[in-house]
Amino acid sequence: MKKALIFEIKRFAVHDGPGIRTTVFFKGCPLSCIWCHNPEGISFKGELASYNHKCIACGACVSACKNGAHILNEKGHFFERGKCSLCSGCVSICRGDALKLYGKAVTVDDILPELLSDKDFYETSGGGVTLSGGECLMQSDFCRELLAELKKEGIHTAVDTSGYVKREEIDKVLPYTDLFLYDIKAIDEDVHIKCTGRSNKIILENLKYIDSLGKSIEIRYPYVPHFNSGEAEKIADFVKTLKNVTDVKVLAYHNYAASKYDALGMENTLPGTLPSDEEIRETEQIMKKQ
């Protein structure tokens, strides 16, 4: 049976498609978005996060770790990431909830019961299950298997994707996906490369392909001042050419994920400028005009 590496299952999600949903977040992403708010989903490997601001200096992790990855002295708690074997023994006994393992290998049978447990809420709210990430389609075989099981239960399915995948990965999930939540970060290729490290050519081509097959699409535009904020009209013009877009959402950039970067020992690339409410309203008006 196929396995996937996930980092979270979020129940009662209301921003990942219509109605009340459960969202499965997959590890691994091919893009390097400067503003990524799920840095724990970038790596294709498991990671231990150490949130030192939550540490109560109890020393339980020091005793639990056989590799000496945790050090506690008069200056505080220190985590030597290179010594960690991801056994997660320290996570289960951390009294301050300061340690978290991002990355769990699961089968469809492992997670399907949890996804089905809120079926009544899906039915009454018009919700369902969303696969997200990271980039869930980097593990497309597993996604296909999971989505097929969900459709057998009559559950609405959504795939949240950057579109930066091979077309065959999209083909695998097409028969079992009711809605694609599709990011457009920029139309200008140079802007896209600056913001994500990758070209957007395959992303835009895959979007046109999905649209040509009549699949419902919700476009998502993450608005980040000084980075892709000048792309609104270009995105609106592009979306206007599509036939099966059910909604367009402007997602205001936020920097809530700063603590995650620190906890994972990653460079914090989050921009310092947040969008104003007026900027978001004006951008939404641009979209509505089209």
Find out whether 30 and 49 touch, Cβ atoms under 8 Å.
no
**Class of the 4-44+104-289 domain?**
alpha beta
Task: For domain 47-102, give the fold.
Answer: Alpha-Beta Plaits (3.30.70)
Q: β-pairing, 99-102 with 104-106?
A: unpaired
What is the tens place of the pLDDT at every residue in 60-83? 999 999 999 999 999 999 999 999
Share of the chain above pLDDT 70, in %: 100
- Which are the contacts of 238, defined by CB distance < 8 A and separation ≥ 6? 184, 187, 204
255 has pLDDT over 90: yes
User: CATH 3.20.20.70 spans which residues of the chain?
Assistant: 4-44+104-289
What is the tens place of the pLDDT at every residue in 18-57? 999 999 999 999 999 999 999 999 999 999 999 999 999 9
Burial 75-107 (b: 16+ CB within 10 A, else e): eebebeeeebeeebbbbeebebebbbbbbbebe
Nearest to 35 by CA among 169, 140, 186: 186
Instruction: Determine the 3-state secondary structure of 114 from DSSP.
Output: helix
What is the tens place of the pLDDT at every residue in 179-218? 999 999 999 999 999 999 999 999 999 999 999 999 999 9
Nearest to 65 by CA among 53, 74, 54, 78: 78
Cα(97)–Cα(130) distance, rounded to whole angstroms? 27
Region 256-281 average pLDDT: 97
- Which are the contacts of 171, defined by CB distance < 8 A and separation ≥ 6? none
What is the tens place of the pLDDT at every residue in 213-254? 999 999 999 999 999 999 999 999 999 999 999 999 999 999
User: CATH 3.30.70.20 spans which residues of the chain?
Assistant: 47-102
150 has pLDDT over 90: yes
The structure's pTM equals 0.95
